[in-house]
Amino acid sequence: MNMIDVITDKKLGKELTQEEIELFVDAAAHSSVPDYQLAALLMAIRLNGMTARETTALTLAMQNSGDTVDLSSIPGIKVDKHSTGGVGDTTTLILAPLVAACGVPVAKMSGRGLGHTGGTLDKLESIPGMSVALSGEAFLEQVKRIGVAVIGQTGMLAPADKTLYALRDVTATVDSLPLIASSIMSKKLAAGSDAIVLDVKTGSGAIMHTLDGAIELARAMVDIGTLAGKPVTAIVTGMEQPLGTHVGNALEVKDAIDVLAGRTKGDLLDVSLLLGAHMLVLGGAAGTVEEAHGKLVRALESGAGLEKFAEMIRAQGGNPAVTEDITLLPQANVVRPVFVRKHGFIAGMDTTALGIAAQAMGAGRQRKEDSLDYSVGFVLPVRIGDEVFPGDPFFTLYARNEDEADRAEEAIRSAIVLSEEAAVRPPLWYAQVTRDGVIKPS
């Protein structure tokens, strides 16, 4: 059996055997076959799909293609959290310290921005001095000492996914449910936690635009976790608009600090509390989501969450004073308030376009090697359903120069749909998926 046999079988719509999948993953991990053969198989999978058995075999083979993290020396149930990616989606910076403040250890490996979506590591690195490159030992030691660490990957986690993800990005094969599910879950399983909370986004800024697609992806990932013996709760949440009001690295850190300090309420806080509550339940710190929610709110109101965030920043070499004085974060050259031109209701947003606008300002990478400007982005306080009048404050740009501010202003105005009719506010979440089935909010 060789790669051509495997490609042929998938081209004909056959279910691949365990051996075929292992051959493919081994070839991806060691680059032992040409990229065009890997890409041909990826396209065959994109077009013909995979069964649940194939998807699980692919996930486990990718998980075992490199190092795995052993968190067993940390006492307690370690719960990981993963978002499928969004804009203004800063929940990790809020819930990691809050959950840790409630006694559940958070040993989290996060990622960088990808395309129009932001990345937790880039946001953390906007804090002066902050390091996300801890050794494996320093990572474990920090979680044991203060209950929380958020870092980049240590070692080579799921190297097969690294090769395949890069190929998918340039062969129009990102939007394949079995490829997304196996990519995410192989890394989550390799990262060693005991249980996982998944935030599966749906809407104009999400990898899965439709609710059915998001629920199907959530189901596939829950099934993989269940087969791997790890409890997984997936919550399908809205990405019809940026989750927080701030988009851009330092701006999102500021948003997280404002939420932890109790100054900002709204969707970012509510989704953080929802996901955090499921983490506490899976971590055994609460019997019900309601009880867990109450604990998180108390940790927020007492200031314990913000204190834990400062402790984490200090432990990772950053300046914890940012939690008291946000002007210590990088500041943009140009700050431009933008005003509403005509009356209407905010009826919708092209959230991917909003993410791309921030990326073009320097908040994200166009190419892998690009460096970021942490200070840039925008603050958009209006939400879908709001009524706005000419002259009202609309959004504020934080840019490197006036030209980039001009381009961003145009892009953001075009991404926001105004209507004459009153518009409905989208719900915060759409479905909760566990091994027991799908629950929709009442």
Residues belonging to the active site:
82, 161, 168, 183, 187
Q: Which is nearer to ligand URA, 43 or 399 (CB)?
A: 43
If binding is defined by CB under 6 A, does position 83 make contact with ligand URA?
Answer: no
Looking at residue 265, its amino acid is: K
Contacting ligand URA within 184-223 (CB under 6 A): 184, 207
d(CA 438, CA 442): 12
Return the number of the residue (41 or 281) whose C-beta is nearest ligand URA: 41
Stretch that binds ligand URA, among 179-187, 230-238, 251-259, 385-393 (CB under 6 A): 179-187
Minimum distance from residue 325 beta carbon to ligand URA (Å): 34
271 binds ligand URA (CB under 6 A): no
For 231, 266, 337, 408, 416, the CA distances from 393, given in Å and listed in that order, are: 45, 18, 7, 16, 14
CB closer to ligand URA out of 109 and 361: 109
Q: Give Cα 421 to chain centroid, integer Å.
A: 33
User: Taking the mean position of all CA atoms in its chain, how far away is CA 121?
Assistant: 11
Least separation in angstroms between residue 169's CB and ligand URA is 9
Is the Cβ of residue 157 or residue 310 nearer to ligand URA in the bound state?
157
How many angstroms separate the CA atoms of 114 and 239, rounded? 16
* Nearest to ligand URA of 184, 299 (CB atom): 184
Give phi and psi for 10, each to the nearest 5.
-70, -35
C-alpha 49/C-alpha 177 separation (Å) is 8
Q: Print the SS3 string covering 247-287.
A: ECHHHHHHHHHHHHCCCCCCHHHHHHHHHHHHHHHHCCCCC
Residue 103's DSSP bridge partners are none
Of the candidates 90, 142, 183, 396, which one interacts with ligand URA according to CB under 6 A?
183
CB 183 to ligand URA: min, Å: 3
In angstroms, rounded to a whole number, what is the distance separating the alpha carbons of residues 55 and 199? 20
Listed ranges 94-102, 126-134, 180-188, 355-363: which one lies at the site for ligand URA (CB under 6 A): 180-188
Binding residue count for ligand URA, defined by CB under 6 A: 8
Calpha distance 230→193 (Å, rounded): 9
Closest residue to ligand URA using C-beta atoms: 183
Instruction: Quote the CA–CA distance of 56 and 224 in Å, as a whole number.
Output: 6
The DSSP letter of residue 397 is: E
Note whether 84 binds ligand URA by CB under 6 A: yes
By CB under 6 A, residue 126 contacts ligand URA: no
**381, 336 Cβ separation under 8 angstroms:** no
> In this complex, which beta carbon is closest to ligand URA, that of residue 183 or of residue 396?
183
Per CB under 6 A, does 180 bind ligand URA?
yes
Q: Which residues bind ligand URA (CB under 6 A)?
A: 84-85, 165, 179-180, 183-184, 207
